[in-house]
């Protein structure tokens, strides 16, 4: 495992209130670092849609964690990352850690931007988050007892957001992670239906899973007035990325941290204990 940097430095966590970003902030808070939370509501705000906010947020920052909202797959994301990295280098940033999606062509382009920036870089290339089942669009269907998704039997090695954050924190605060692409996954493959059934078992509930055509799923989201940007992202992820290209586990967590990633069963048991899946919103 790499040795920790023996100096205090300032880290900007872009997306610092998001699923991985807030965990990065929490883990960094126990270390000898100055943390700047990159969000629209921060004291020094950062907003991906307002480029005038970027320069003040980057002032006196040595390292940055880059998490793009809502995803690197959306139109304009790569151009934003290019503009940000150019400005970051001019501002004196010396280290960048990019969160990227596994198997996404657009994310690969963003990775290349960061790799070409001329500073230390680390890529954290992630599988689907466990937390999509309790902090995102799958929470309400699970609470209702019926999950309908446009997926079949293609498995996914779901990864816990805490593990992603731990890898990012190591890359931000330790030497030895420069130039590394950490492909982070959980320790085993599960279909979405199997994941839902594991949740049902530990929460003591009956939860039905149904595979639906992508067109129907898209139509339902549009009827529910889900923002078009998010509909397009999910259509892309379910319709293209979940085609078997990611149906394998990788060793990024082990290489970065020297330990095994959290298993989905442990994640499900921990979340079930909070009762969130038993609460109908």
Bridge partners of 38, per DSSP, are 14
pLDDT value, residue 8: 47
Instruction: Place 231 in a pLDDT band, splitting at 50, 70 and 90.
Output: confident
38-76 confidence digits (pLDDT tens): 999 999 999 999 999 999 999 999 999 999 999 999 999
Q: Model-level pTM?
A: 0.94
pLDDT value, residue 3: 45
Instruction: Evaluate whether residue 4 is within a structural domain.
Output: no
- Region 244-253 average pLDDT: 97
Q: Is the pLDDT of residue 280 over 80?
A: no
Instruction: Evaluate whether residue 225 is within a structural domain.
Output: no
Q: What is the mean pLDDT of the chain?
A: 94
Q: What percent of the chain has pLDDT over 90?
A: 86
In order of 12, 174, 181, 186, the CA distances from 178 in angstroms are: 18, 9, 9, 23
Contact 111, 83 (CB under 8 A): no
User: Following DSSP, what letter does each residue of 161-204 receive, concatenated?
Assistant: HHHHHHHHHHHHHBTT-TTEEEEE--SS-B-HHHHHHHHHHHHT
Instruction: Evaluate whether residue 138 is within a structural domain.
Output: no
R_g of the chain computed on alpha carbons = 19
d(CA 252, CA 159): 11
Contact 28, 13 (CB under 8 A): yes
Q: How far is CA 105 from the centre of its chain?
A: 16
Instruction: Evaluate whether residue 19 is within a structural domain.
Output: yes
More confident residue, 11 or 222: 11
d(CA 208, CA 217): 16
d(CA 53, CA 191): 41
Instruction: Evaluate whether residue 52 is within a structural domain.
Output: yes
Contact 151, 191 (CB under 8 A): yes
d(CA 30, CA 28): 5
Instruction: Place 2 in a pLDDT band, splitting at 50, 70 and 90.
Output: low
- Region 234-247 average pLDDT: 92
Instruction: Evaluate whether residue 223 is within a structural domain.
Output: no
116-162 confidence digits (pLDDT tens): 999 999 999 999 999 999 998 899 999 999 999 999 899 999 999 99
Q: What percent of the chain has pLDDT over 70?
A: 96
d(CA 220, CA 65): 35
Instruction: Evaluate whether residue 192 is within a structural domain.
Output: no
What is the torsion angle, in degrees rounded to the nearest 10, for the CA atoms of residue 93, residue 97, residue 99 and residue 101? 110
Domain range for residue 91? 10-127+159-187+247-262
- Distance between terminal CA atoms of the chain? 43
Instruction: Evaluate whether residue 43 is within a structural domain.
Output: yes
Please tell me the number of Cα atoms within 13 Å of 174 on its side-chain side.
Answer: 15
CATH (domain of 21): 3.40.50.720
172: number of Cβ within 10 Å: 26
Q: Is the pLDDT of residue 103 over 80?
A: yes
3-22 confidence digits (pLDDT tens): 444 344 699 999 999 999 99
Number of independent structural domains in the chain: 1
Contact 265, 124 (CB under 8 A): no
User: How many separate helices (H) and strands (E) can be counted in the chain?
Assistant: 11, 8
């Amino acid at each position: 495992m790499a040795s920790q940097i023996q100096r205090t430095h300032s880290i900007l966590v872009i997306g610092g209130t998001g699923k991985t970003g807030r965990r990065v902030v929490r883990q960094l808070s126990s270390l000898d670092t100055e943390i700047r939370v990159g969000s629209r509501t921060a004291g020094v705000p950062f907003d991906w849609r307002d480029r005038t906010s970027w320069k003040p947020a980057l002032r006196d920052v040595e390292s940055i964690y880059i998490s793009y909202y809502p995803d690197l797959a959306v139109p304009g994301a790569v151009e934003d990352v290019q503009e940000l990295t150019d400005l970051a280098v001019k501002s004196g940033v010396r280290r960048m850690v990019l969160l990227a999606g596994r198997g996404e062509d657009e994310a690969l382009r963003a990775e290349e931007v960061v790799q070409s920036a001329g500073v230390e870089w680390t890529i954290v290339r992630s599988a689907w988050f466990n937390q999509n089942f309790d902090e995102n669009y799958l929470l309400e269907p699970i609470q209702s007892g019926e999950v309908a998704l446009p997926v079949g039997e293609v498995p996914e090695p779901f990864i816990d957001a805490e593990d992603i954050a731990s890898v990012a924190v190591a890359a931000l605060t330790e030497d030895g992670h420069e130039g590394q692409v950490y492909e982070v996954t959980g320790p085993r493959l599960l279909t979405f239906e199997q994941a839902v059934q594991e949740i049902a078992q530990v929460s003591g509930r009956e939860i039905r899973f149904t595979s639906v055509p992508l067109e129907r799923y898209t139509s339902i989201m549009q009827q529910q007035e889900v923002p078009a940007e998010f509909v397009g992202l999910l259509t892309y992820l379910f319709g293209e990325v979940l085609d078997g290209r990611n149906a394998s586990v990788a060793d990024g967590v082990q290489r970065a941290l020297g330990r095994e990633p959290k298993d989905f069963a442990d994640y499900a048991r921990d979340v079930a204990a909070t009762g969130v899946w038993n609460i109908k919103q």
